[in-house]
């Protein structure tokens, strides 16, 4: 079997958006029969603040209500080895993408991008951070992650001749 394509989702603390993105994309890949070809993880540019912690309770609650289980995920920081290990490293917003660009070796920069670039029809490039807002912000994050994940998986399937 061919080596799996590895995707890393990145936000600031790795307790809201990136674990949602990881769980949503993993679940949709499983439903589409692509899970054996893909590997997913998430990390934070400032993940050391929450290292080892589960995702935010609101993120877990909203995601579970929508069929996505975040219970096994734990926060971690982006590490240097991630730039070699992953084939795509997708930030949730421009600020975290800028941090990734500063940390990333030159030869790995083409791996970096924004998750919402896979849903260009939305006309927005960032998934807003729901941490300081109401629970509805977490629902919006799941909505946006679903749209981006569908686009990402469709592109992956097209590139591999599955679509």
Collapsing DSSP states into helix, strand and coil, what is residue 33? Answer: coil
Q: Can you tell me the distance from the alpha carbon of 28 to that of 30, in angstroms, rounded to the nearest whole number?
A: 5
Q: Left (φ > 0), alpha (ψ -120 to 50) or beta: where does 62 sit?
A: alpha
Tokens of 153: 């998986």
Active site residues: 11, 17, 129
Q: Can you tell me the distance from the alpha carbon of 29 to that of 140, in angstroms, rounded to the nearest whole number?
A: 20
């Amino acid at each position: 079997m061919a080596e799996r394509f590895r995707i890393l989702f990145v936000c600031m603390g790795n307790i809201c958006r990136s674990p949602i993105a990881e769980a949503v994309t993993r679940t949709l890949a499983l439903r589409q029969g692509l899970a054996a070809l893909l590997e997913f993880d998430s990390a934070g540019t400032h993940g050391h603040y929450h290292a080892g912690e589960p995702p935010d309770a609101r993120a877990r609650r909203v995601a579970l209500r929508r069929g996505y289980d975040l219970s096994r995920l734990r926060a971690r920081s982006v590490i240097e080895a991630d730039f070699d290990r992953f084939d795509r490293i997708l930030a949730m917003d421009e600020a975290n993408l800028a941090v990734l660009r500063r940390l990333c070796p030159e030869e790995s920069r083409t791996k970096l991008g924004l998750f919402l670039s896979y849903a260009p029809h939305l006309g927005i490039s960032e998934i807003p951070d729901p941490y300081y807002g109401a629970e509805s912000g977490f629902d919006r994050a799941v909505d946006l992650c679903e749209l981006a994940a569908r686009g990402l998986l469709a592109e992956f399937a097209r590139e591999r001749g599955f679509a």
